[in-house]
C-alpha cells in the first residue's frame, strides 16, 4: 500500500519543548488520527508537515514527493482550528479568491458543498458560528481536488451534531482510495468513529502508531486487586495505574489475557483510556529501570 504521507525522524526544538524524532505514515485511502493531550506536539507535527515551521532533521514525503512544491500543495487541503479566512470575507468572495490561487479550483463542488451545509453565500464570516466557519473551511479544502486532507484540531469546540456532520463528510472523502486524511484531535471519540490508524504523541514523542482496530479489539484493561496485580506476568503489562480501590493494567491482547488469567476482570479499552494509562499511568519500562 502506498503512503500519502510519510514522516520519519522529524525533529524540532523549542526552548521548552522538543518534537523528538517523530515517525509515522498515512497510507493512501485511510484516515490517520493524531492524538495526544494539549501541548503534546500534534500541531507542531502538522505545522512541520505543511512547511509552516522549519524542521531541524527528519524527512517528510507527501504524495510521493520530498519537496512541498506548488504542484503538491494543489493536492493538499489544510484546515486549522479557527476561521482560516479573514472574517471580513464571505463564502462567495472566498470563491473569487481561491480561483486565482488554485489552478484546480472547482467552483461547482464548492457551491454544492456550501449548499449541502446550508451556508449563506454573502454573509460575512464574522457572523458565522464556529461550526459554520469549520464547515466553510472544509468545503474550501475539498474544492480543489485534494488527495490529502490535513486537519489540525478541526473538530475542537464543535457540538456533537456538527462534529458528526463533518465526520460523515470525511468518511465520504476517503471512499476514493486515492484520498487520505491526517486528523489531529484530542477528541478521541471522533477518531474512534472514523480513523483507520491512531498515532499517539506524548511529550513530543510517538508512543505508538497502530491500526485503530488493533487498539479497540485487542487492547484491554485488567481491573484487579493488589494481590492479582503482583501475580501478573510483567511482560503482559504495557502500563498500569493504581486507582482508589483497584489497579488498572493496560494489556496489548485482552483475549490472550482472558485465557491466561481466567479469573481476572478484563474489559475492552477505549482510545481515551489507553491514552490516559499511557500519560497518567506508570510504564512497565519505568519500573524496570
Q: Return the number of the residue (74 or 273) whose C-beta is nearest another protein.
A: 74
Asked if 153 is part of the footprint of another protein (rule: CB under 8 A), the reply reads: no
Q: Return the number of the residue (105 or 247) whose C-beta is nearest another protein.
A: 105
Each residue 56-85 as x (binds another protein by CB under 8 A) or -, in order, gives --------------xx-xx-x-x-xxxxxx
Helices 91-101 and 130-141 sit at what angle, rounded to 10 degrees? 30
Each residue 113-142 as x (binds another protein by CB under 8 A) or -, in order, gives ------------x-----------x-----
Cell of 184: 489531529
CB of 119 to another protein, least distance (A): 17
CB of 47 to another protein, least distance (A): 6
CB of 39 to another protein, least distance (A): 13
- Whole-angstrom distance, CA of residue 194 vs CA of residue 200: 16
Q: Terminus-to-terminus CA distance in the chain, angstroms?
A: 38
Closest CA to 270 of 206, 209, 210, 219: 219
Closest CA to 5 of 54, 80, 68, 55: 68
Nearest 10 degrees: CA dihedral of 270, 184, 174, 207? -60
Positions that interact with another protein (CB under 8 A): 43-44, 47, 50-54, 70-71, 73-74, 76, 78, 80-89, 93, 96-103, 125, 137, 150
Amino acid at each position: 500500500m502506498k503512503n500519502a504521507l510519510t514522516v520519519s525522524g522529524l525533529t524540532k526544538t523549542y526552548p521548552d519543548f522538543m518534537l523528538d524524532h517523530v515517525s509515522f505514515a498515512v497510507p493512501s485511502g485511510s484516515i490517520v488520527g493524531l492524538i495526544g493531550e494539549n501541548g503534546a506536539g500534534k500541531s507542531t507535527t502538522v505545522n512541520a508537515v505543511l512547511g509552516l515551521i522549519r524542521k531541524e532533521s527528519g524527512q517528510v514525503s507527501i504524495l510521493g514527493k520530498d519537496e512541498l512544491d506548488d504542484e503538491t500543495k494543489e493536492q493538499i487541503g489544510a484546515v486549522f482550528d479557527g476561521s482560516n479566512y479573514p472574517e471580513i470575507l464571505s463564502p462567495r468572495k472566498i470563491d473569487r479568491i481561491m480561483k486565482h490561487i488554485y489552478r484546480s479550483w472547482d467552483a461547482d463542488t464548492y457551491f454544492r458543498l456550501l449548499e449541502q451545509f446550508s451556508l449563506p453565500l454573502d454573509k460575512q464570516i464574522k457572523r458565522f458560528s464556529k461550526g459554520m466557519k469549520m464547515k466553510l473551511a472544509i468545503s474550501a479544502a475539498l474544492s480543489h481536488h485534494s488527495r490529502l486532507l490535513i486537519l489540525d484540531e478541526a473538530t475542537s469546540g464543535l457540538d456533537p451534531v456538527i462534529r458528526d456532520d463533518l465526520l460523515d463528510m470525511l468518511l465520504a472523502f476517503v471512499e476514493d482510495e486515492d484520498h487520505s486524511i491526517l486528523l489531529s484531535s484530542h477528541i478521541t471519540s471522533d477518531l474512534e468513529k472514523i480513523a483507520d490508524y491512531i498515532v499517539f504523541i506524548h511529550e513530543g514523542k510517538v508512543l505508538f502508531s497502530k491500526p485503530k482496530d488493533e487498539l479497540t479489539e485487542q487492547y484491554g484493561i485488567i481491573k484487579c486487586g493488589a494481590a492479582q496485580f503482583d501475580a501478573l506476568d510483567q511482560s503482559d503489562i504495557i502500563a498500569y495505574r493504581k486507582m482508589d480501590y483497584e489497579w488498572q493494567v493496560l494489556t496489548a491482547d485482552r483475549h490472550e489475557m482472558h485465557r491466561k488469567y481466567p479469573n481476572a476482570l478484563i474489559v475492552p479499552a477505549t482510545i481515551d483510556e489507553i491514552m490516559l494509562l499511557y500519560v497518567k499511568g506508570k510504564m512497565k519500562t519505568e519500573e524496570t529501570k
